[in-house]
Amino acid sequence: MDNLSDTLKKLKITAVDRTEDSLEGCLDCLLQALAQNNMETSEKIQGSGILQLFASLLIPQSSCTAKVANIIAEVAKNEFMRIPCVDAGLISPLVQLLNSKDQEVLLQTGRALGNICYDSHEGRSAVDQAGGAQIVIDHLRSLCSITDPANEKLLTVFCGMLMNYSNENDSLQAQLINMGVIPTLVKLLGIHCQNAALTEMCLVAFGNLAELESSKEQFASTNIAEELVKLFKKQIEHDKREMIFEVLAPLAENDAIKLQLVEAGLVECLLEIVQEKVDSEKEDDIAELKTASDLMVLLLLGDESMQKLFEGGKGNVFQRVLSWIPSNNHQLQLAGALAIANFARNDGNCIHMVDNGIVEKLMDLLDRHVEDGNVTVQHAALSALRNLAIPVVNKAKMLSAGVTEAVLKFLKSEMPPVQFKLLGTLRMLIDAQAEAAEQLGKNVKLVERLVEWCEAKDHAGVMGESNRLLSALIRHSKSKDVIKTIVQSGGIKHLVTMATSEHVIMQNEALVALALIAALELGTAEKDLESAKLVQILHRLLADERSAPEIKYNSMVLICALMGSESLHKEVQDLAFLDVVSKLRSHENKSVAQQASLTEQRLTVES
């Protein structure tokens, strides 16, 4: 270290004199000291004030330039040296050196800039202001096709530099994307796929850039899908596959890329991994199985990619996914159920699957998870059943297969995601199915649970779905018994509150259900309707200009139906409904205007 102090003193003199030979000796000495103890040597360099001198040594024509850049690269490995390098004015001359024709100078300069940018806002800003990124991208473009080892090493350093420059910085990543870095990197990957270090650098760069929404379109216009699948097929090591997975996951969020990945044969690779790893107990294998099956489900979220893999329900992929559902592996059961939910996104697929026995498979799966079951599997299986129940022709088939009974086993679940899907499935099943709606609506346990969930203020989804199912039970059954069950369980106040929802569809469903209650069982519900202040709410809905036409229409229908109750009739009279209703006679919507005339007559007669 004493020797180092002498070297630093000598370097100050020779830096001014520019005697190349002795300068070179000093630089070699510094590089040796850095190789032995980087941190301590860097501290001495910082303390000696020599950094400022380096700026003057970074000149293109000097034979020592590459060594000076190498020293900067070495000291900038230490976090505490990055800002001093910027403050010493090293960035601008380093960026100038990127125009050099000397390969060693380019290599060391790329290293120096990359290390200064690593996790350093000041370093990145300085490189940005000096315009370093564009020069590096231009180099990548022009050197892209040369495959000798020295050039590949340089390309690797340049990729690393761009990565350090833009890592976790959205605006700098967007800048690189606008400079066209993506097609260049994809081309690099294709040409240099034999070079492990460069391939790895490209993958990490893709992983960073793919998180940015604006990158997806650029990626979609390249052959990235093909290159990644080609690379994936060659990989045996878990770590390498994992790196590719980390790029595939964000890219596969884009529908165009989903389809490209399917066409490039990714699905076959994923199915192979699942088959290989399904019985393994190894942690790495379990993780890879999860990643592969999750990615498979993600690919099915695109309409085109999903339909291509469904192949009319005869596709190999669809059949393989079906076989996951009865497996003993929870991850595969989950992925299988989610995949079915994704296949069940159009009527044709749903009808085909129900006709071919998928419902029984899903019910068996649910059955295995009733007691202390896996919540994610329950949620996924219920999602699939809900989607399958959407086509009208499937409802009766699913009801007679016993789906409602299977679903009701989860009424005691305390998990909001399961509750939410359970409610949605039942609501889909009873749509226009009077008998089923009546049967469920007379199920006191179910109705009491719905009333309880209508108060789940922490879970808006569960609360909304409970209200909607309560209303649906009345609307589809049109049954007095169902209304009595709901009144006895305390459900009326929730339907009245639902009429004030911010969602027009829910308001409407509530008003229609309340009109049926008023028409069929007004005496039973009278007290509850009064204490829920229904008449005041209807007055507000009719007076509010923002209320949708169908809300105004159904509110007036309901007013007429309430006139059969003495106490509610009195409330209507007290609130001067005539004024509000007569204004609606000139409403632009014909149905509203007509109903206003009828309601006005009714109110006049009754008064």
Chain segment 509-558, per-residue pLDDT in tens: 999 999 999 999 999 999 999 999 999 999 999 999 899 999 999 999 99
The C-alpha R_g of the chain, in whole angstroms, comes to: 35
- Between 565 and 10, the higher pLDDT residue: 565
Residue carrying the six token digits 């270290």:
1
> Is residue 2 over pLDDT 70?
no
pLDDT digits (tens, 9 = 90+) for 219-249: 999 999 999 999 999 887 888 889 999 999 9
Let me know: does 289 contact 295? Beta carbons within 8 Å.
Answer: no
pLDDT at 127 > cutoff 70:
yes
Alpha carbon distance 269, 281 (integer Å): 21
Question: How high is the pLDDT of residue 456?
Answer: 84
Q: Which two tokens stand for residue 578?
A: 């005539």
Asked if residue 150 lies in contact with residue 167, where contact means CB atoms within 8 angstroms, the answer is: no
User: pLDDT averaged over the chain?
Assistant: 92
Contact 305, 342 (CB under 8 A): no
pTM above 0.85, yes or no: no
Residue 607 is predicted with a pLDDT of 61
pLDDT of residue 16: 64
Q: Is the pLDDT of residue 162 over 90?
A: yes
Q: What is the DSSP letter of 237?
A: S
Q: pLDDT by residue (tens digit) across 266-302? A: 999 999 999 989 988 899 889 999 999 999 999 999 9
Spatial contact of 312 and 355, defined as CB atoms under 8 Å apart: no
Burial environment of residue 101 by CB neighbours within 10 A (0 to 12, 13 to 18, 19 or more): exposed
Instruction: pLDDT band for 17, please (50, 70, 90 cuts).
Output: low
Question: What secondary structure letter does DSSP report for 503?
Answer: S
* Contacts of residue 55, Cβ cutoff 8 Å, sequence gap at least 6: 88, 89, 90, 93
The predicted-structure confidence for 376-394, as pLDDT tens digits, reads as follows 999 999 999 999 999 999 9
The predicted structure's pLDDT at residue 22: 76
DSSP letter for 75, please: H
The pLDDT of residue 108 is 97
